[in-house]
Amino acid sequence: MKVMVAMSGGVDSSVAAALLLEGGHQVVGATLKLWGGDSDSGCCSVADVEDARRVADQLGIPHHVFNLTDRFEEAVVGPYVTAHAEGRTPNPCIDCNRHLKFGTLLDRADRLGFEALATGHHARVLPGPSGRELRRGADRAKDQSYVLSMLTGAELPRILLPVGELTKAEVRARAARLGLRTATKPDSQDVCFIHSTGGRRRFLGDRIPLHPGDLLDARTGDHLGTVPAVELVTVGQRRGLGSPGGGPRRFAVAVDVPGRRVLVGEEAEASATRLDLDPPSWVDAPFGPGDRVLAQTSAHGPASPATLGPGGAAGTLSLDFEAPHRRVAPGQTVALYDPLDPDRLLGGGTAR
């Protein structure tokens, strides 16, 4: 099979390419140049491109670099800035997967005659009763099915995830045996376009006005203090919202950017039993009101039992949790799993 491998310059995609080559496939590496601005963290740096190129040389496979900086700005960076200006907290890495890695790159692979696109994500694509299924990776501590919850059944037949059956330790051991330069390279943890010294404040402050806001008690409306930039506050956030001199922990319950205010509450106000979702994407047949799911609201958090219900707008759905659940920031991804088979990803949506 002719396979394009998305090589990020990390150990996982390096081993993915090696495994496919060992399996007899015709393998070509492709690295995306996405962010053209200042950055010292995340993936897709100049050093990452060079690491990917040198691993491809070690494996003896062709390697290409595709410059998608304009598309990245349009589909990921711009929406990230807009979301914060509106009081939402986006998932830029999931948007990158949706629009760039499994959008533009998958389309390019199709046009160039490749039969499949492979990545180094820790998840598994396996045959199921009604087609291909997306399942959690074998290494639950490194499982990345959450960040792939935007994939659909139309895309899965063209996607390979070679390291999904391996633990992270096994991936590094294979890379070491092959002498790959990425064998001991640390995992990327940060958003590629956010500089570690200035953080979100510097990045967003260069692009939109940041406004101070008032902290108000969610129950009483009492004024409790201020925040330097309401656009930087995330629903569920605790840090920076505490009482001077002690007192109960406070969490952001709601962010009102136009009103320049943040509602805060204690543990009870920080949880809810209902969450509305934008129209979800589904790996297989759509689920709907009355269906039970397991909802995972962060990359490595637990999946909580919930029942789907009708949302407040056309095409939307609600999640009714069996037990109070920490509030989810609007804009965050919610991955939905099968309660009868918790490794099986059903789909995903965005919190409203």
Catalytic residue selected from 43, 44, 93, 192: 192
Indicate whether 11 and 69 sit together in one domain: yes
pLDDT in tens, 73-93: 999 999 999 999 999 999 999
pLDDT for 247 = 73
Rounded distance between C-alpha atoms, residue 281 and residue 102, angstroms: 14
**Element spanning 337, H or E:** strand 333-338
Give the contacts of 235 (CB within 8 A, at least 6 positions apart): 89, 252, 253, 254, 255, 327, 328, 329, 330
pLDDT for 190 = 74
Rounded distance between C-alpha atoms, residue 54 and residue 165, angstroms: 25
Asked whether residue 19 is domain-assigned, the answer is yes
Indicate whether 171 and 34 sit together in one domain: yes
Rounded distance between C-alpha atoms, residue 66 and residue 72, angstroms: 12
pLDDT for 97 = 96
pLDDT in tens, 293-342: 999 999 999 999 999 999 989 889 999 999 999 999 999 999 999 999 99
pLDDT in tens, 4-62: 999 999 999 999 999 999 999 999 999 999 987 766 555 667 889 999 999 999 999 99
Asked whether residue 138 is domain-assigned, the answer is no
Asked whether residue 343 is domain-assigned, the answer is yes
Asked whether residue 261 is domain-assigned, the answer is yes
Q: Which domain holds residue 325?
A: 272-350
Asked whether residue 301 is domain-assigned, the answer is yes
Indicate whether 116 and 257 sit together in one domain: no
Higher-pLDDT residue of 188, 216 = 216
Q: What are phi and psi of 94, to 5 degrees?
A: -70, -40
Indicate whether 169 and 283 sit together in one domain: no
Indicate whether 117 and 234 sit together in one domain: no
pLDDT in tens, 221-259: 999 999 999 999 999 999 888 665 567 889 999 999 999
pLDDT for 42 = 55
pLDDT for 134 = 97
Rounded distance between C-alpha atoms, residue 49 and residue 64, angstroms: 10
Indicate whether 105 and 222 sit together in one domain: no
Q: DSSP label at 166? A: S
Q: What CATH number has the domain bearing residue 247? A: 2.30.30
Structurally, the chain folds into a number of domains equal to 3
pLDDT in tens, 250-275: 999 999 999 999 999 999 999 999 99
Asked whether residue 346 is domain-assigned, the answer is yes
Indicate whether 261 and 276 sit together in one domain: no
Judged by phi (left if over 0) then psi (alpha if -120 to 50, else beta), residue 270 lies in alpha
Tokens 């009103």, residue?
Answer: 259
Query: Residue 43 catalytic?
Result: no
Asked whether residue 145 is domain-assigned, the answer is no
Give the contacts of 61 (CB within 8 A, at least 6 positions apart): 17, 21, 27, 28, 29
pLDDT in tens, 117-137: 999 999 999 998 878 999 999
Query: Residue 96 catalytic?
Result: yes
pLDDT at 142 exceeding the cut of 80:
yes
Q: What is the pTM of this model?
A: 0.95
**Element spanning 195, H or E:** none
